[in-house]
Chain A
Amino acid sequence: MTATAPTRTEPLIHTRADFPLLGHEIDGHPIVYLDSASTSPKPQCVIDAVTRVYRDLTANVHRGVHALADEATAAYESARREIASFLNASPAEIVFTRNATEGINLVAHGLGLKPDDEIVLPALEHHANFLPWRIRARPVTIGLTEDGLPHYGDVEAALSSRTRLLALAHVSNTTGVVAPVERWVAAARSRGLPVLIDAAQSSSHLPIDVRALDCDFLVLSGHKMLGPSGIGVLYGKRERLEELDVYQTGGGMVRYHGDDRFEVQDVPLRFEAGTPNIEGAIGLAAAVDYLRSLGMEAVHEHSQELGRHLVEGLRAIRGVRIVADSAPLEDRIGLAAFGLEAPGLSEESVARLLCDRYHVLVSGGYHCAHILHHRLNLQGSVRVSTHVFNTHEEIDVVLSALEEIARW
């Protein structure tokens, strides 16, 4: 039942050679890496870009007056341009952060929220797009279907005079479903409200054009999109960024500091206090360049195909309960989470078993989405997530393993 359909092709199989991690073995067996939603392996070009900074380009940015500092600054700002281009943004609208989480915290802090303010968001959001709002304001959640798909269409009804912002994941890290962000943006526009999109899971699976989306803020994490850890991006419309309170203070974010006053830099530098993650930004630009060389349409199509294969295969396994199973297959990327009726095995145990017995690396647990799992009465889930280097054959490997475990 898990045989690969004859029409399946592997248009991106050549990319496997670019990822040294895929040559890693466990107990003498090559790994099957299906955990990119957690963090993704890095292609050699990213490793080289980061290494080059340490080897040839170690100097601080925006501060030095020597030639190497100039070169490092040029490379860092070139990375900003590359990422802006990837999102169809202006470089001045790109703030480097540690990750998507910090980007959301930056906005949540900068809006100066009060306890009575309301933030409208789907109930399944990752903690990173929930707690920063919750500790400052009142989250108003959009309800879920029985299988965990948000009632996205209820957004208009959730808005009130106290709503300050709408926030949602472009692709949920638990369901793998692409959200109708256009509808949310339209709802926000009708009330003059800003929208923040968490693109941590979507940014390296489908093309993103912030101008076409017309979102006010968008965040992403480098490590989930083939880039280094510790680097992320906050995109913001310039006027929206300028409205935000400063998040952190320190060196690099001021243009004048005297006894009488201090004056902050223009955006985006006013949000980049302290020495930034220079090598991270340059590595992330290399990752973006790599993805663009593959073509984001091709990447998206591949992700969709793997997602379709995965979900269709999971549906055929007895005892599997797929989160948001009712979502159309064409609205998915290569990611699915599910519960599995395997006596004596929790979802975490299933994930560990997949690793130890089958050398398949996946996630098991709550995936930073406790509320979703509570509402579905699930004690966690197993999550399989793909990226450009994964193949249909690997999906078959994990499906076979799960079928075997389900029969125990």
Chain B
Amino acid sequence: MHPALDSVFERRHREAVLTSPLCAGKLCHVGRVPMEERVVGDLLFLNQAFDPTTWDAREIRRMVDELDRFQPEVIEADPAYLSILARACVLEGLRLRQPECIVLTYEFPSRVHLRQIAPAFPGVPVVSSYGSTETGHVFTRCDAGVFHENTATCHVEIQPLRAASGDVRIGRILVTTLDNPWFTLVRFDVGDLARLHDGLPCSCGRHDGLAVAAIEGRIRDLTFDLEGRAVTVRRLDDALGAAEHLLGYQVDQCGAREYLARYTAEPHADEATGEAVGDILRSVYGPGARITVRREAALSPEQSGKFRLARTTFDWDPQELFS
């Protein structure tokens, strides 16, 4: 595992969880409850709202206070949720409890999220962990930024995209579990894409197991360029994450050539931000792409509690994409 995680996970420690109450599971049916009722063992479930854009100053202050009281060694968070909390605290001058490490999970960590998280947690290692409810912990990112297969608990294969569908170094993650004799999954399709790491051994010293350079996002969050080739969330985010003043975005592909980008930005951002978003998307999807860009007051999560960064509004068959 990651050194920052190793030092914490080898001993008993407290974790604060910040994600949708739906993801956290234990909260959605009991309403707003005192902190004591949201502590389960060594876990504190921080969030009580389905939409974190509804957090007001009182709610932000509550979470800051609860982190101070609980003193977690780890904050495990949905990056979108943590970015909202972090930015609010920076703007209000509130100091957040500094954990030993932050684990980002639940959904794809955008560069715009990371940019907002960093100032609130200076020097705190931010680790992307990858797993799923069904498979457990699959990959851990090392200091060199490479995701290593957790060979003790699973076996991972990558089924590549067809050459006509996209970059063949990218494929879907198939997991065979090794640590649950009662419920073994064989080549379980997690629904995510990964990009293979080009060379082993990794500079971190690991030489066994599969290594991937990046988690590329959900298969169902793929969009397609004008040639019909898959654009992963990672590729989109690498491009859009460079746009200045951007706080969040959601890209909908509405047709073969039509795209709608919604974004939020710093208050002082002007029309140039929207123009930059349009230019970036044309560079990703093709110069002939018909792109509508809208600045929004807020972007809300979907019913699942996740902020999807990209999606198509039409159906397509994922099976046709893979070799």
Mark A residues whose CB is within 8 Å of B.
62, 70, 73-74, 77, 80-81, 84-85, 88-92, 211, 238-239, 242, 255-256, 263, 266-267
Please report the total number of B residues contacting A with Cβ < 8 Å: 19
Asked if B50 CB lies within 8 Å of chain A CBs, one says yes
Tell me what chain A mostly uses at the interface: helix, strand, loop, or mixed. helix
Q: Which residues of the partner chain A approach B31 to less than 8 Å between Cβ atoms?
A: 255-256, 263
CB distance from A88 to the nearest CB of B (A): 5
Asked if B32 CB lies within 8 Å of chain A CBs, one says yes
When the two chains form their complex, are residues B51 and A74 in contact, meaning their CB atoms are under 8 A apart? no
When the two chains form their complex, are residues A256 and B30 in contact, meaning their CB atoms are under 8 A apart? yes
CB distance from A113 to the nearest CB of B (A): 25
Contact of A85 among B28, B30, B51, B294 (CB under 8 A): B294
The CA of A389 and the CA of B302, in the complex, are separated in Å by 35
* 4 cross-chain pairs, A with B, having the tightest CB-CB distances, nearest first: A256-B31, A90-B298, A263-B31, A91-B300
When the two chains form their complex, are residues A77 and B297 in contact, meaning their CB atoms are under 8 A apart? no
The CA of A238 and the CA of B297, in the complex, are separated in Å by 13
Least CB separation from B313: chain A residue: A78
Q: Which residues of the partner chain B approach A74 to less than 8 Å between Cβ atoms?
A: 302-303
B 4-36 binary contact with A (CB < 8 Å = 1; else 0): 000000000000000000000000111110000
The CA of A163 and the CA of B9, in the complex, are separated in Å by 60
CB distance from A174 to the nearest CB of B (A): 32
Contact of B303 among A70, A89, A256 (CB under 8 A): A70
Mark B residues whose CB is within 8 Å of A.
28-32, 49-51, 53-54, 56, 262, 294, 296-298, 300, 302-303
When the two chains form their complex, are residues A84 and B49 in contact, meaning their CB atoms are under 8 A apart? no
CB distance from A18 to the nearest CB of B (A): 18
Q: Which residues of the partner chain A approach B296 to less than 8 Å between Cβ atoms?
A: 84-85, 88
The CA of A255 and the CA of B294, in the complex, are separated in Å by 33
Q: Which residues of the partner chain B approach A88 to less than 8 Å between Cβ atoms?
A: 296-297
Least CB separation from A92: chain B residue: B54
When the two chains form their complex, are residues A92 and B300 in contact, meaning their CB atoms are under 8 A apart? yes
Q: Which residues of the partner chain A approach B30 to less than 8 Å between Cβ atoms?
A: 255-256
Contact of B51 among A89, A92, A256 (CB under 8 A): A92
The CA of A154 and the CA of B310, in the complex, are separated in Å by 50
CB distance from B36 to the nearest CB of A (A): 17
CB distance from A229 to the nearest CB of B (A): 26
Least CB separation from B49: chain A residue: A266
Q: Which residues of the partner chain B approach A267 to less than 8 Å between Cβ atoms?
A: 54
When the two chains form their complex, are residues B302 and A90 in contact, meaning their CB atoms are under 8 A apart? no
When the two chains form their complex, are residues A92 and B53 in contact, meaning their CB atoms are under 8 A apart? yes
When the two chains form their complex, are residues A85 and B262 in contact, meaning their CB atoms are under 8 A apart? yes
Least CB separation from B30: chain A residue: A256
The CA of A211 and the CA of B297, in the complex, are separated in Å by 8
Given A85-B296, A90-B298, A267-B54, 20 additional A-B pairs, CB 8 A: A77-B300, A80-B300, A81-B300, A84-B297, A85-B294, A90-B54, A90-B300, A91-B51, A92-B51, A92-B53, A92-B54, A92-B298, A238-B56, A239-B56, A255-B28, A255-B29, A255-B32, A256-B29, A263-B31, A266-B51
When the two chains form their complex, are residues A238 and B54 in contact, meaning their CB atoms are under 8 A apart? yes
Q: Which residues of the partner chain A approach B56 to less than 8 Å between Cβ atoms?
A: 238-239, 242
The CA of A70 and the CA of B31, in the complex, are separated in Å by 22
When the two chains form their complex, are residues A266 and B54 in contact, meaning their CB atoms are under 8 A apart? yes
The CA of A397 and the CA of B262, in the complex, are separated in Å by 43
Pull 8 A–B residue pairs with CB atoms less than 8 Å apart, ordered by A: A70-B303, A81-B300, A84-B297, A88-B296, A88-B297, A91-B53, A92-B53, A242-B56
When the two chains form their complex, are residues A89 and B54 in contact, meaning their CB atoms are under 8 A apart? no
The CA of A290 and the CA of B121, in the complex, are separated in Å by 44
The CA of A88 and the CA of B299, in the complex, are separated in Å by 11
The CA of A85 and the CA of B298, in the complex, are separated in Å by 8
The CA of A70 and the CA of B302, in the complex, are separated in Å by 10
The CA of A85 and the CA of B300, in the complex, are separated in Å by 11
The CA of A70 and the CA of B22, in the complex, are separated in Å by 14
Q: Which residues of the partner chain B approach A70 to less than 8 Å between Cβ atoms?
A: 303
Most buried by A among B49, B53, B303: B303
When the two chains form their complex, are residues B32 and A263 in contact, meaning their CB atoms are under 8 A apart? yes
The CA of A266 and the CA of B27, in the complex, are separated in Å by 14
Contact of B302 among A62, A77, A85, A256 (CB under 8 A): A77
Q: Which residues of the partner chain A approach B32 to less than 8 Å between Cβ atoms?
A: 255, 263
The CA of A77 and the CA of B50, in the complex, are separated in Å by 13
Least CB separation from A62: chain B residue: B303
The CA of A323 and the CA of B300, in the complex, are separated in Å by 44
CB distance from B87 to the nearest CB of A (A): 15
The CA of A62 and the CA of B31, in the complex, are separated in Å by 16
The CA of A74 and the CA of B18, in the complex, are separated in Å by 23
